[in-house]
Amino acid sequence: MRETEVLVVGGGPAGLSAAIEAASFGAKVTLMDSDLALGGQLIKQTHKFFGSKNERAGTRGFKIAEELFKELKEREENIETFTNCTVTGYYKEDGVVSCVKGEDEYFHVKPKKIVMATGAQERIIPFPNNHLPGVYGAGAVQTLMNVYGVVPGERVLMVGAGNIGLIVSYQLMQAGVKVVGIVEAMNKIGGYWVHAAKVRRLGVPIYLRHTVKEAIGDRFVEGAVIQEIDEKFQPTGNEKKLDVDIICLAVGLTPTCELLWQAGCKMSFVPQLCGYVAQRDKNMRTSHPDIWVAGDAAGIEEASSAMVEGRIAGLGVVKALGYGAPEEIQGRLEEYHMRLADLRGGEVGAKIREGIALCSVESWEV
């Protein structure tokens, strides 16, 4: 059976960072990603990042991916990479992990330590005819356009005015697609002001306290009905029919954590982090002594914090494996914790800080 010191599940911003950090101390790392290419969501993010310069603010997402790939390449003698390879199971009895590469190649790996950086999945909301072709997740639309160069249709209703809804709306317009309107169930725009301002300047209406009532169509989307809702999210009776062929759902993400459940990690439901997440100590170790977690899988946040969490998890793992000088590891950990606190500072980080407090433990009993 294949063996490795550190298995990193997921090659997005968190997983790449964890792999690079662990390999920089000499650990042998195996990095697996279910997608055809590494980089996770970064490779489709054409917008510039916010935050501090330390965390690459002002750089576009796909450029950040390129920087991480460069670092990965510098450590290639210590990092073995598998793409198009899904980790399908964790078996508690013997700590063996099952994987399938492509459709036909099934194999087992026995890692000493694991970093779960499995990311997130898009939420779907129920409404009549939401199964029709033409109803997409916003992330899926972004992948289609920015990775594969395919526009989804001609006229779009965007559901959700958080950052993803606003950014993807803008990118649809850059691709020549008409965004007919954006509906948002809350009474205010959830995303950053600059993103909202960009689409408003281009004349896209944002309907607050509105939701999609139903999709119209027989074999594919031929229209949508939106409706106004009150403070209790009940319909007021005001409705409007929109002529669209695409309904794009940007209604939130939820952490992908099947493998953590399979491993028996202690889990908590934390609404601030958008779903069930693993309880963790300061250095991202779960209740399972050999499993760490990082990035969106540990709670929905930004790629910037995912990268720092990945670094912290990578350090946690090498420390447990006995690599590196303890002072050096401690020094780096302190720096990363400071950077993470910076990213989560102020009013914008309040929700995340609350959520993390709900699933953090001081240390695990040994």
Partner 1 sequence: MSNKQDDIIICRCEEVTLGEIREWIAKGYDTFDELKRVLRVGMGPCQGRGCRDIILREIAKMTGKPYAEIPPGRFRPPAKPVKLGAIAKAGEAE
Beta carbon of residue 223, minimum distance to partner 1 (angstroms, whole number): 15
Q: Residues 46, 83, 86, 272: which binds partner 1 (CB under 8 A)?
A: 86
**Residues 163-182 close enough to bind partner 1 by CB under 8 A:** none
What is the C-alpha separation between 40 and 252, in angstroms, rounded?
A: 17
Based on the shown chain and the rule CB under 8 A, indicate whether residue 100 belongs to the binding site for partner 1.
yes
CA-wise closest residue to 12 among 152, 98, 116 = 116
User: Minimum Å distance from CB 229 to partner 1?
Assistant: 15
* Minimum distance of partner 1 from residue 98's CB (angstroms): 6
Residue 258 sits in the site that holds partner 1 (CB under 8 A): yes
**Smaller CB separation from partner 1, 108 or 198:** 108
Among 48, 106, 154, 289, binds partner 1 (CB under 8 A): 106
Are the CB atoms for 246 and 156 separated by under 8 Å?
Answer: yes
**What is the C-alpha separation between 69 and 234, in angstroms, rounded?**
48
Q: Which stretch binds partner 1 (CB under 8 A): 97-105, 148-156, 296-304, 336-344?
A: 97-105
User: In the 8-state DSSP scheme, what is residue 231?
Assistant: T
Binding pattern to partner 1, positions 208-247, x when CB under 8 A?
------x---------------------------------
CA distance 171 to 347: 28
Location of structure tokens 């950052």 = 163
Residue 260 has φ and ψ, to the nearest 5°, of: -70, -40
Give me the DSSP letters along 128-165. Answer: TTTTSTTEEEHHHHHHHHHTT-----SEEEEE--SHHH
Number of residues that bind partner 1 (CB under 8 A): 35
Query: Which region, judged by CB under 8 A, interacts with partner 1, from 17-25, 102-110, 184-192, 294-302?
Result: 102-110
Task: Give the span between the Cα atoms of 34 and 5, in whole angstroms.
Answer: 20
List the interface residues with partner 1, window 115-134 (CB under 8 A).
121, 123-131
How far apart CA 22 and CA 358 sit, in angstroms, is: 28
Q: Which is nearer to partner 1, 126 or 176 (CB)?
A: 126
**Of 256, 279, 287, 305, which one interacts with partner 1 (CB under 8 A)?**
256
Closest CA to 291 of 41, 84, 79, 118: 118
Q: Is 193 in the site for partner 1 (CB under 8 A)?
A: no
Residues that bind partner 1 (CB under 8 A): 1, 86-91, 98, 100, 103-108, 121, 123-131, 214, 254, 256, 258-259, 261-262, 269, 275-276
